Amino acid sequence: MNPEDLQRELDGLWAKVGAGSSPELPRIPIDASAIDDLKLDSLTLLKRQQRQKEQSWSDLLEAKERSLEACRARLESLEAETVRLSRRLEREEGIVVGEVLEARAKLEAGMKGLESERAKFEEERRSLDAILEATRQRLAAESFRALKIQEEAHRRESQYLLDLKEAQVRAERVDEARSGAEAEAGKLSGSLKEAKNALEKTLAELLLERQVREEIEKERAAALKKVADLETHFKELSLIWEEERTQWRELWDRERSTWEGQRKEVESWETSLRRERESWQAELQAQESKHVAFVSQINTSLRESSETSARLASVVGVLDRIGALDLPGKRADIGRRARKGLAAALGLGLVLAIFPLWRHFSRPRLKALSVEAVTLENPTGMTFDGSKLWFSQWGGDLVSFDPKDLRAPSSRSAAKGLGSYHPTALASGSGVLWSVDSAQARVIKHRGGKPEEVLGSLRAPGPAPAALAYDGSSLWLYDAATQAIYRQKGSAEEFLPVPAETELVPAAMAFVDGRLWVFDSRSKELVILELKEDKLRVWSKSALSESVLAVAVAGKEIWALAGPNMERPGNALVKYLP
């Protein structure tokens, strides 16, 4: 190779390194005696570059094989996760169908019981009517018989009086004729004795008839009293039946509305599950394609960076050889700048590779700290006011606990003057305790620390309010019937809907660090939403193994009220650390 060819080769390498932005290299006068050395060095340099290139290609192929193995393992784990989620979905669908069938069986049993009670009441009513009619007929017969006996007694008494007068007249006649006939005296005295006996007998019969009449009057009064008692009892039974029929009608209407709501919710769950499963599969395929494209892009970037590194290494080697020939300081400075550019390119590639990993691991991950049993039968909501942990129960009680000791409640309160009240969610802040009343579709404002004192109420935007959160100035409410999240700002009296970019079925809500944390009962995920441009956008998602009923924030910890599961028969308070 002559000096001109060597000079042209150096100029070409410099043009590749400098990308045309730096001045051309000055021509270097090279002695002809050094040509053989340069040829030998060039041959050695080319062999070393070839070995380095082969080594880099082998390393690149090994890295690619490892990446493919990792992708294959990830794909197998995703397929296993898909199978597990499908089985879990089938199991949960079976549970939901069982609950619906059980509720339907209960409603049918209630209707059958109502029909049997109605038939029993009608039969009892007919029997009471028959008894009343028989009693009336008997009283009429007894009254008629008593009148007949009374008339007969009057007739006999009159006859006995007439006989008595006739006997008295006869006795007077006998007394008048006594002086004339001694013989008839004995006869008259016998007749007198007979008259006295007859009179005594008549008087005894009159007394007996009077006693019978008094007994009949007593029986009549007792019968009338019994009839009055029967009529009173009949009226009381009628009133009780009317009340029971009203209660059964209210219970039926409530159960029917509940069943209709559950049926609609189940239908919405099925539709949402189907849609979520399709979207999840599509998202999984998209994520797999993105992952494959990302791996391919990384491989391409690594290959290009290795090629560029090899070229730059060759250029740097040439420059080092040139610097070893005692070239001027300007050319040595050019070599240093080339090495700095190589280091900058490698650093940029490393940053581009690490950035997706940093973005993935910067999302919050919940770590379970402890699990404590909650000694309540039917808790529906929970909140923490800074010192006490408050729970709501379906019966209407608001119970407080010391967070350090959940074995026994520290206080139990019941709101006054609310009528029918069934709280299903709680929220606290600014010295106020808020509760959701599902019985009358409203939000109740209580005094902090004394929830029995009611400060006011707000009408819920839908018929089935389910979850509540408070961010310090606004109330956030989810309604299961309208399937929408609402917001009530400050002193406003109405809740306005806030659109979300994904469909959710929140069972519990809480505000943490300016974001709305929602437990989606449909997907069993903790979804963190961020309000941007008047729309709730998903910031992150993470799956939970517990079925969460309520969420509360205590400092840096997240407290969740979890329901029963296979390992735990009752409710529990699970503490997480983000």
Looking up tokens 């109405």 gives 494
Q: Say how far apart CA 575 and CA 239 lie, in whole Å.
A: 53
* Residue whose entry in the numeric block shows the structure tokens 């990384």: 298
Measured distance CA(340)–CA(179) in Å, rounded: 182
Q: Is 225 helix (H, G, I), strand (E, B) or coil?
A: helix
d(CA 463, CA 498): 17
Do residues 379 and 424 lie in contact, with contact meaning Cβ atoms separated by under 8 Å? no
Please state, in angstroms and rounded to a whole number, the distance separating the CA atoms of residues 148 and 13.
148
Tokens for 206? 């009159």
Report which DSSP code applies to 483: T
Tokens of 221: 């009064």
Is the four-CA dihedral 454, 458, 463, 468 of positive or negative sign?
Answer: negative
Which residues make Cβ contacts (< 8 Å) with residue 39, sequence separation at least 6?
A: 1
CB distance 552 to 559 below 8 Å: yes
What integer pLDDT is reported at residue 257 of this predicted model? Answer: 66
CB distance 498 to 456 below 8 Å? no
Q: In terms of C-beta density within 10 A (0-12 exposed, 13-18 middle, 19 or more buried), how is residue 490 classed? A: exposed
Alpha-carbon gap, residue 508 to 516, rounded angstroms: 10
Domain locations along the chain: 128-254, 367-577
**Most distant pair of Cα atoms in the chain: their distance:** 215
Strands 442-447 and 367-373: unpaired
Could you identify the residue written with the tokens 């089935």?
464
Q: Contacts from 146-151 at CB under 8 Å and sequence distance 24+?
A: 146/213, 146/216, 146/217, 146/220, 149/209, 149/212, 149/213, 149/216, 150/213
Measured between alpha carbons, how far is 52 from 561 in angstroms, rounded to an integer? Answer: 61
Regions of the chain with pLDDT less than 50: 19-25, 325-332, 334, 345, 349-362
Confirm whether pTM is higher than 0.85: no
State whether residue 1 is helix, strand or coil: coil
CATH 2.130.10.10 given to domain 367-577: yes
For residue 178, what pLDDT is reported?
66
Residue 448 · residue 425 · CB < 8 Å: no
Nearest alpha carbon to residue 547 among 532, 526, 531:
526
pLDDT for 305: 65
**pLDDT at 13 (0 to 100):** 66
Task: Supply the pLDDT for residue 430.
Answer: 87
